[in-house]
Chains A and B, each alone.
Chain A
């Protein structure tokens, strides 16, 4: 079996985002997706600090401190881009104008519950940012994460044990082992990495999986 690395997961997500989509890429792993959007496919990136039409990283020496993304990294603008204030930025999110949000996660439950903002540790300083808005607002919520924790436990779970970011909000999960659709009747396997069988994936995953009808 060959696990996907972070870049390969990002490329796999990018493949599924169609031309013309408005997309918010979460901080961290999801940000990588921008680098793998196929050439010639026009996709408009939204940043919750007030940008539509975000472009790639600036060349060294041309960074502008007034032009940053939600992760506070310098970015550029594409021709046609726009700036707006924070309430509009989140109005776009909650108002169901974004086609996709791609988020990282600690856990995803079979019913689509998402946990990605808090480990639940009592002494941890909580910080939520825009995660809860993106989880409930985007038309489709994609999650990118490793399939297993460092201790080998499945991050796809029956019920989240970490505090929730949003209830029943995840549509699809991309991991280093598989692509899974969260549907009302359960978790469907869309894709498995080369060399891993359905049965082996089932053994590693904490919840019952369904084979996609077309893949059976």
Chain B
């Protein structure tokens, strides 16, 4: 299977709305798994998703999803489901009718469409409200029924624009678990979200966007290690943090070693994480130094977002 038939591919894609830039010169190849699109409002996340699904056409470049384009809608939308951020519905429909009528558009029999509708509604825990009119739903219920509509036909590519908006903590956690499970099944799940710490937990890769440009992309750990301006933060928990701190100060790649507030660890900032880990191994082995835990402290989407976009940016 080639990249073009297994990935979502953007080839030098630009989109302008008149003179307004949507996205500029984007080249990406998104593999299966959960991909988070991260960036501030107006950074081009929704444009990228709309380009992916053919709701807007590129001014320049080419987009393909698993080797398909929206010009062959019968095949393309068999594989693709898109839950947009538009909180709107056809008039006077119930949740069930909403999903069912668009399944019938796929040429399914009424029985098959009803079965898939019920299954999708069950999956987002909306069964009790399925036969009520959507106009009477809460924002969270509307969000869930739109999600159900996007997954009802069992797509292999699921595009979700701010899918956690309006959801209560319980529904949010259920949705995240669902996205994670779908990603693990080998599906492409592309999510844009402002709730960074939540999507961070389930993202296999991240695309950081700012002002229509892709600032960074890849696995979050790889992206973090490429941000050279900001030394890596690593938290080492141990019973003798002051001893460890004094040993670390002698190393030129260690920028800062700060005792943790609870006195049970050291927060280290280093320009070379690999050399730091090697040093730590040596200390533990050669000096029998007791360690409780070692973990990166800013190796997440939120930190990378802050470094690259939130506080004046950086370069990769």
Task: Tell whether A pairs with B.
Answer: no
